[in-house]
Structure 1
Amino acid sequence: DFKNAIVLVPEKKHEIIKSFRITKDGIYYTTTKNGIEAKLYLYSHGKDNYIKLPYPSGNIDLESKGENYSDIWITCSGWANDRQRFKYDPKNKSFKPENLVPLIEYPEFRDIIAKELIVKARDGEEIPLSLIYNKNIKMNGKNPLLVESYGSYGVSYNPYFAKSYLLWANQGGIMAIAHVRGGGEKGEKWRLGGYKETKPNSWKDLIDCTEYLIKENYTSKDKVAIWGGSAGGITVGRAMTERPDLFKAVIAEVGVMNPLRDEVTPNAQPKEFGTVKDPKEFKILLEMDSYHHIKKGVKYPATYITGGINDDRVIVWEPVKFAAKLMANNSSSDPILLKIDFDGGHGANIPTNQFYSNLSDIFAFAFWQLGHPDYQPKEN
């Protein structure tokens, strides 16, 4: 009877309930705080019991045999930790490793650590910011920094064992994930904080996170690259056109660069971004349109833009239009590169070697522009 339902576990102020399993001992459930810190609880006999994990995690998966058994397994993972499976003993409150396959050792990533920060945005909102880097680097303002962000559809960047990020860190760079508004890290409120008329928060959060990292001496303006794919193209494109002085390089991967015209494409998303048929929403779309914010004579950062001929989600002419206008109006000598994939589409369902080839192009471009000595063009 949902009209007279009994609330067993009320909504927590700073945590979002993600999943649950019922056993004979009660209800095990998981939450995330800020989308980056996973927690485990057991609701039993009217009490809410916090269970300390074997190590700090960003993700938890639960498995159980059913409500007539005590058996419960958890699988933990994080930015610098591969997935590990444990069986939990509720009597002894202990975890025993029970991995289904042997764990793979990655000795090259042994010194890579993850750090979670909170950055105050210009309006006082607290933006979660994840950092991944080698623990031995010096915070001297000279580290190559690559910031990835998205900020649409309520999608969260939950921590997972991201070997691609670790590869960047292994080359001496700092990898950052800015959990900007429009995502789902803090629930529905967070999604609506970067939605339609509030969409500018997405790129302003990215700008504020970048300025924070520069201020705290993690990096400097000539060592910063930002990276966004798909709807993340709105975030990085508008950050770039609003603050072209703040970034050395920008990567827009199959990005939504011209949302004002998105409605005429096969994957039109008027519910998410707005419709040009509504005068108010037309202005909203215009504000988030990077193509229409390119100005003549401005010195823009080095830019790497990609598109896919078979992409039916972000039609290929969006990134192409953006690249063409940027080339025609840019007054800096930094390169603007456009790469069109004639085989793939929106980045999914492509061979593994092509995925890593695309990733290597992005990383090589960023390291080149950020001055990494191993990625500078060599004369024959």
Structure 2
Amino acid sequence: MLLDNNYYRQTFIIPKQDLLENKKKWKPLYTKDDKVRSLQLLDNDLYFLSQYNAQNYTLCKTNIIASNFKKPEILIPERNDEVIGQYGFTKDGIYYTTIKNGVEAKLYLYKEGKSIPIKLPFPSGNINLQVKGKDFSDIWISCSGWANEEQRFKYDLKTGSFLPENITPITKYPEFDDIVVEEITVKARDGEEIPLSLIYNKNIKRNGNNPVLIDSYGFYGYSRNPFFARIYLLWANQGGIMAIAHVRGGGEKGEQWRLGGYKETKPNTWKDLIDCTEYLIKEKYTSKNKVAIWGASAGGITVGRAMTERPDLFKAVILEVPTTNVLRDVLTMSNNADEYGTLKDLKAFKALVEMDAYYHIKKGIKYPATLITGGINDPRVPVWEPTKFAAKLQSNTASKNPVLLQIDYEGGHGVNTTAIHGHSNLSDIFAFAFWQLGHPDYQPKEKK
């Protein structure tokens, strides 16, 4: 199998006997243009998810002997507002999952040509599906959400009930009992609906005085699906509102959502973040002096450009191992060109200029307080990128807000690091944000 950057495969097939006799008569089964994922063989039929002429996927089948991946039999057609995820065979039918807006998971049973919705044991943002096989009725799901630890259930089709079957005991977190999750959509300047996840204590008041930390990414079609996010819950437990802006460029609403924030359309990504911020201010969740935005890795483009385009809108900015100088990044990290663009094409070059946060720092502008981190061993974002950005920002800002650069001499890009080291970095990020947003417990103490 040969993969491209969209993880589509070019796959070849050979008769078993030819392989054993070393004849090597490989023949193409399907190409990357067929946009096939999650292939399963059942008897003489191949089942698969197809994104060919279907942004949110269809579930299809074709015969392995006379296969046709562009014109297969479509079992489950594309859904307008749900992306098909996993599927599995049982003797009762095909179970499959979908997700809406990247945050609302659903489970269905496809039987006798119809899709039957199955009510989950609790509202979930993520489902992992397991089945025993086509000759059995056994099915298990693992559900999780922003404030719900993953739990495993066995489904009984006859009674329509879920029986808990957790492999390990579920840990109780009484300190999070008052945390609630609100899933909303924000109307963007062009009419698109941007999913926005909010996590906060149920007792907060919408008086414009709550510290808000907005986490945003929006690249590679990556979906910020809900998981049991202890770090987000900790922010909420300290009296803040944690927000996740599911901006264009991600995959929360399917392939079209990714393409809506890609190369020439990339400005939609940071403008979506700006729209979400303005919504939270308008609806009294917070105010300008109480908003911090946080972007890591490629999310540095999202957050860096939101900051340089609307420096008046944010009190604090956190850029964690960020891509901030994409014009140079595509030269030194050529594998990013497929996502960001290339210097060799004028149209793509103009798009790179537009998304380069370093380029858009201007002299005499009052920029927010900013924490920038870099990893000396980072293989994905060279340490010169955040360093260079910090130097230019320090030199050009007209405000007295701090611009801090923190270099990690042990870690890299946040992977292959110890839990203690990772928690230490997070504590620095949260402490900086709470300090700048005026949380009384995080203000410097005067020397006596």
Q: Same fold (TM over 0.5)?
A: yes
Query: What is the DSSP-based 3-state SS (H/G/I as helix, E as strand, rest coil) of the residue aligned with 1:7?
Result: strand
User: Are 1:45 and 2:112 an aligned pair?
Assistant: yes
1:2 to 68, 71, 76: 68
Q: What's the offset of the Cα at 1:2?
A: 2.7
- In 1, Cα distance between equivalents of 2:326 and 2:271: 18
Residue in structure 2 matched with residue 286 of structure 1 by the alignment: 353
Percent pairwise identity: 71
Whichever residue aligns with residue 406 of structure 2, its letter is: K
2:382 to 315, 321, 345: 315
1:267/1:313 contact within 8 Å kept: no
User: Are 1:198 and 2:254 an aligned pair?
Assistant: no
Residue in structure 2 matched with residue 113 of structure 1 by the alignment: 180
Residue in structure 1 matched with residue 396 of structure 2 by the alignment: 329
Whichever residue aligns with residue 68 of structure 2, its letter is: F
Residue in structure 2 matched with residue 302 of structure 1 by the alignment: 369
Residue in structure 1 matched with residue 231 of structure 2 by the alignment: 164
Whichever residue aligns with residue 280 of structure 1, its letter is: K
User: Are 1:236 and 2:288 an aligned pair?
Assistant: no
- In 2, Cα distance between equivalents of 1:345 and 1:267: 19
User: Are 1:90 and 2:157 an aligned pair?
Assistant: yes
CA deviations over 1:115-147 (Å, ceiling 9, x no partner): 100000000000000000000111110000000
1:138 to 196, 199, 205: 205
- In 1, Cα distance between equivalents of 2:405 and 2:146: 30
Whichever residue aligns with residue 26 of structure 1, its letter is: G
Whichever residue aligns with residue 141 of structure 2, its letter is: I
Show structure 2 runs of 5+ residues with no match.
Answer: 1-66
Query: What is the DSSP-based 3-state SS (H/G/I as helix, E as strand, rest coil) of the residue aligned with 1:269?
Result: helix
1:262/1:268 contact within 8 Å kept: no
Show structure 1 runs of 5+ residues with no match.
Answer: none
4+ residue stretches of structure 1 with deviation over 6 A?
none
1:266/1:312 contact within 8 Å kept: no
User: Are 1:15 and 2:15 an aligned pair?
Assistant: no
Higher relative contact order (CA 8 A, sep 6+): 1
Whichever residue aligns with residue 330 of structure 1, its letter is: T
Write out aligned runs for 1:20-35 (5 A). 20-35=87-102
- In 2, Cα distance between equivalents of 1:272 and 1:98: 41
Whichever residue aligns with residue 249 of structure 2, its letter is: G
2:288 to 209, 221, 226: 221
TM-score by length of 1: 0.99
User: Are 1:263 and 2:330 an aligned pair?
Assistant: yes
Query: What is the DSSP-based 3-state SS (H/G/I as helix, E as strand, rest coil) of the residue aligned with 1:292?
Result: coil
CA deviations over 1:39-69 (Å, ceiling 9, x no partner): 0000012211000101100000111111110
Please identify the structure whose Cα radius of gyration is greater: 2
- In 1, Cα distance between equivalents of 2:170 and 2:107: 23
Q: What's the offset of the Cα at 1:264?
A: 2.4
CA deviations over 1:245-265 (Å, ceiling 9, x no partner): 000000000000000001222
TM-score by length of 2: 0.84
User: Are 1:127 and 2:194 an aligned pair?
Assistant: yes
Query: What is the DSSP-based 3-state SS (H/G/I as helix, E as strand, rest coil) of the residue aligned with 1:22?
Result: strand
- In 2, Cα distance between equivalents of 1:187 and 1:266: 27
Residue in structure 2 matched with residue 69 of structure 1 by the alignment: 136
Q: What's the offset of the Cα at 1:343?
A: 1.1
1:225/1:249 contact within 8 Å kept: yes
Query: How many pairs does the alignment contain?
Result: 380
CA deviations over 1:137-174 (Å, ceiling 9, x no partner): 11110000000000100000000100000000000000
1:274/1:282 contact within 8 Å kept: yes
Query: What is the DSSP-based 3-state SS (H/G/I as helix, E as strand, rest coil) of the residue aligned with 1:2?
Result: coil
CA deviations over 1:207-227 (Å, ceiling 9, x no partner): 000000000000000000000
- In 1, Cα distance between equivalents of 2:292 and 2:419: 25
- In 1, Cα distance between equivalents of 2:248 and 2:312: 23
User: Are 1:148 and 2:201 an aligned pair?
Assistant: no
1:251/1:304 contact within 8 Å kept: yes
1:267/1:314 contact within 8 Å kept: no
Query: What is the DSSP-based 3-state SS (H/G/I as helix, E as strand, rest coil) of the residue aligned with 1:154?
Result: coil
